[in-house]
Amino acid sequence: MTTPPPAKPAYKAELPWAGPVLGHYDDSDAILISGAVDPARGKASLVLFVPVTRNGDGKRFERAPGSEPAFKSRNVQSDGNGWFTVDAERSWWRETVNGKQAEGLLVVLLYETSPNSRAATPTEKEFETDRIHQALDTLLEEPAQELELGLIEIDGEAHVASAKAGSPPKQFCFALTSCQYPVGMLDATVAFGSYRRLAKQLKANSGDARPQFLLLLGDQVYVDATAGMFDPSEQHDRFVAPYRNLLNQPAVKDVLRRLPAYMMLDDHEIEDGWEPLAADRHDDHNLTAGRDCYLRFQRAGGPPRQRPEGDSPEPLWYEFERSEFPFFIADTRTERQRRTAATIKNAGIMSDTQFTKLLCWLSKQRDDVPKFIASPAIFLPRRRSTAQHEHVASALRSDAWDGYPKSFHGLLAYLAEQQIKNVVFLSGDEHLSCVAQATITAAGKPPVSILSIHSSGLYAPFPFANSVPEIFPEEETFPFALTGEELSASRERLPDQALKRDGLRKFECRVEIRDFRAGDGFAILDVFRDNGEWTLRCHFNRANGGTGVRAYSLSPVP
């Protein structure tokens, strides 16, 4: 009896079920792309990167004709939840299609619809490639408007800023936001309005500055959306499903396929208001699961997981540079220390290791370049309640930097003592936009100017959960003092020992709020240099057309 030849494989080509999400890219050749397979189809065979451009009427995408592979491929190694991350080469975005520059790479998952088939000879392998082309041709029959969400658009040359250019450019733009409350049964139209407006700005060929990347500073998902009333207890439903639901949203896809996003988690990726309890010594399951899912989904495009260091068992903080501008992304949630009325003075909002890294990072930056410290927790302004009765225990009322005087005063003091200029703080937890300018003065030294910008949430529909301007003083001057021991605490590894001195050092911080804006949206920050001075333009985008653009000088105070 003759054995019949093995069945030839049949393929189905589809866009990723969630994603694709564009990873970080700088001066390296590899770009990480992540997404999810269709849970109804299971395991995918390959991920294909297909250079495409629109046809004559613009209604369809087309690829290079012929039987030769006009695509690049990677094997798919998805995890138990169907999430995958693959690397692509920057040169792939320089391909041409029919003599025209490709608009981008269409990210396609290839599913084998005849799983029992196998290819045994070179001839059958070639036939297999033909079937891949057939599957792609079938996919490209769909309207370009529907396939756009799978198109990764970057410029393989000009859009990638070199990290070794020698000096920063005269202009630099990025987007800042946080807090996307999940969609419900009745609010689908408005829930992702901010993402749609950002995607529209990225598409528009207007005079508006185009962001190079997006900063997402916390509460990208809410694993506790019903405040415990109906929140799922099963780990997949509580921690994984919110990410899959978010990254399956068309408006979210439309942004994250274009902009690399640098993300940091906050409390709602763990549980509302999370901080270590003073009397609890047990492992926190929600912290572990929330942190692991943050690393799996929000950090799929980089940077990679770090090894434990010092008193930081799971370092989430990281630093990066874009176009010669340095950023430090601080974890102000998972490393905060236990605090009570008795211990509040010595509790930090981060580990001593991270705090030392932050100060070392500041010490090595160029004085004449803007430097950005980003954290979910707002740095300035501080709350009125923090200063209540002029008692340090009042800081327990705050979930932000001012709720941890050791870290808050220590960082302010370091900026003033070391005369560090052009520092901008970025944050996004209060569901309220504001800009604060501050000057910090150390006794016997010139004042140092800093800027603190806080963006509202993308979607924060419940007024009772949103901060209001009245909780912050519009103007405030507050003194503080640190001993030599406090100044030098956690800084033994710093190269400069100027802070190690005896006696009491006195400081003063003067804060003025320049702008308050309520409502959902995001911030577009445009940094530019004119006549040797740096200026930051801030535009708080809103559904009603925005709030206009305001400019703030980053030049040091005289």
pLDDT tens per residue, range 221-253 = 999 865 555 556 667 777 899 999 999 999 999
Are the beta carbons of 231 and 272 closer than 8 angstroms? no
User: Of 96, 121, 152, which one is at a domain's C-terminal end?
Assistant: 152
Does 296 fall in a domain?
Answer: yes
Q: What is the mean pLDDT of the chain?
A: 85
- Same domain? 139 vs 276: no
pLDDT score of 4 = 56
Does 164 fall in a domain?
Answer: no
Kindly report the CATH number assigned to the domain that includes residue 402: 3.60.21.70
d(CA 374, CA 216) in angstroms, rounded, equals 10
pLDDT band of residue 557 (cuts 50, 70, 90) is: very low
Residue 334 per-residue DSSP state: T
Q: Is 503 exposed, middle or buried (0-12, 13-18, 19+ CB in 10 A)?
A: exposed
Q: Percent of the chain beyond pLDDT 70?
A: 85
Does 1 fall in a domain?
Answer: no
Domain that includes residue 107, residue range: 11-152
- Same domain? 141 vs 176: no
- Same domain? 95 vs 192: no
Residue 56 per-residue DSSP state: T
Q: Which of 271-285, 295-309, 450-464, 481-495 has the lowest mean pLDDT?
A: 481-495
The residue with greater pLDDT, 171 or 355, is: 355
Quote the Cα angle for 184-185-187, to 5°: 65
Does 63 fall in a domain?
Answer: yes
- Same domain? 191 vs 300: yes
pLDDT score of 5 = 53
* Number of C-beta neighbours around residue 389 at 10 A: 8
d(CA 176, CA 193) in angstroms, rounded, equals 16
Which tokens belong to 242? 């919110």
Are the beta carbons of 151 and 103 closer than 8 angstroms? yes
- Same domain? 50 vs 189: no
Residues 356-395: tens digit of each pLDDT: 999 999 999 998 899 999 999 999 999 999 887 678 888 8
Mean pLDDT of 79-87: 90
Residues 431-459: tens digit of each pLDDT: 999 999 999 999 889 999 999 999 999 99
* Residue 196 pLDDT exceeds 60: yes
Does 6 fall in a domain?
Answer: no
Are the beta carbons of 20 and 254 closer than 8 angstroms? no
Residues 288-341: tens digit of each pLDDT: 999 999 999 999 988 999 999 999 999 999 999 988 899 999 999 999 999 999
Residue 73 per-residue DSSP state: E
- Same domain? 403 vs 541: yes
Q: Which of 112-126, 174-188, 210-224, 307-321 has the lowest mean pLDDT?
A: 112-126
pLDDT score of 251 = 96
Closest-CA residue to 426 (of 354, 370, 363, 472): 370
Does 102 fall in a domain?
Answer: yes
Does 450 fall in a domain?
Answer: yes
Q: What's the pTM value of the predicted model, to 2 decimals?
A: 0.91
pLDDT score of 233 = 61
Please give the tally of structural domains in the chain. Answer: 2
- Same domain? 225 vs 132: no
- Same domain? 102 vs 248: no
- Same domain? 140 vs 178: no
Q: Which amino acid would we find at residue 360?
A: C
Q: Which amino acid would we find at residue 252?
A: V
Q: On the CB side of 163, how many CA atoms lie within 13 Å of its CA?
A: 11
- Same domain? 127 vs 180: no
- Same domain? 117 vs 178: no
Does 161 fall in a domain?
Answer: no
- Same domain? 505 vs 413: yes
d(CA 505, CA 487) in angstroms, rounded, equals 9
